[in-house]
Amino acid sequence: MAFNNLTSKAALIYDEWIKDADPRVDGYPLMSSPLPQTLIIGAYIYIVTNLGPKFMENRKPFDLRQIMFFYNFGVVALSIYMTYEFLMSGWATGYTYRCDIVDYSRSPMALRMVRVCWLYYFSKFIELLDTIFFVLRKKNAQVTFLHVFHHSIMPWTWWFGVKFAPGGLGTFHGMINSMVHVIMYTYYGLCTLGPAYHKHLWWKKHMTTIQLVQFILITIHIGQIYLMDNCPYQYPIFIFIIWLYGFVFLILFLHFWYHAYTKGQRLPKYMKNGVSINKNE
């Protein structure tokens, strides 16, 4: 009886809360409730941390270079398109980069922003394939807490952003992330072409620097709202979550940078007598 009462109260709270959702996203895939995406993300975590490694335990790694080539450059093309759409739906056509509130009208520009916000959200599910490829290639060392947490939290939190606030200053990090992914997935795509091209990928170390710059920009941009006297952004809680997300990932990537490069755990290698060695050896 108590459980039924608790369930009923939870349902009432949810119904009351969902009334404030943006009606413009009604009918978009995965936007009816947070449950479908939660199940997908839960399955993803279980597969890449448990089921997948067990399945591959006594198998040879799959050669996925051709698939990954098309996948990576497909993400590059999608990221270029999303960057353009973010720019044309606000960030290059009127946004001030300060107190930009959500436009809830049905103007062509506002609806364009809604579409690119949903597309960015959906792209996060496509990117879950990154980890699946790691598992199938038995690159389990790449399936770190940082990697899985990043790929899990992004789509889950963006559901709420698209559902309630698809636009305004809360979308800045989506645009910046799309720009970064153009560079990152170009690098990943070139890596699939084989060792002959690896000598041209000297800029690998700068991938982490680019990530750090991304989170610095996000943290500074979103933190501006706390220095403004009267910014009527509709959902301040989202601003805090974005700021917290940017700050936490800035710390995590700084930690990675310190251990990977400053302490020499991932120093660049060169060839000597046909053997790859670290430069500090």
Supply the residues annotated as catalytic. 150
Q: Which residues make Cβ contacts (< 8 Å) with residue 233, sequence separation at least 6?
A: 99, 101, 102, 168, 169, 170, 225, 239
Closest to 213 in 3D by CA, of 176, 241, 160: 176
Neighbours of 6 (CB within 10 A): 10
Decide: 222 and 243 in contact? Cβ < 8 Å.
yes
Helices 65-86 and 172-191: crossing angle in degrees, nearest 10, is 160
Show the tokens assigned to 230: 């009267």
- Phi and psi at 39, nearest 5°, equal -65, -40
The whole-angstrom separation of Cα 132 and Cα 137 is 9
Q: Which residues lie across from 269 on neighbouring strands?
A: 278
How far apart are the C-alpha atoms of 36 and 229, rounded to whole Å?
Answer: 39
**Which are the contacts of 129, defined by CB distance < 8 A and separation ≥ 6?**
71
Q: Which of 204, 208, 206 is nearest to 254 (CA)?
A: 208
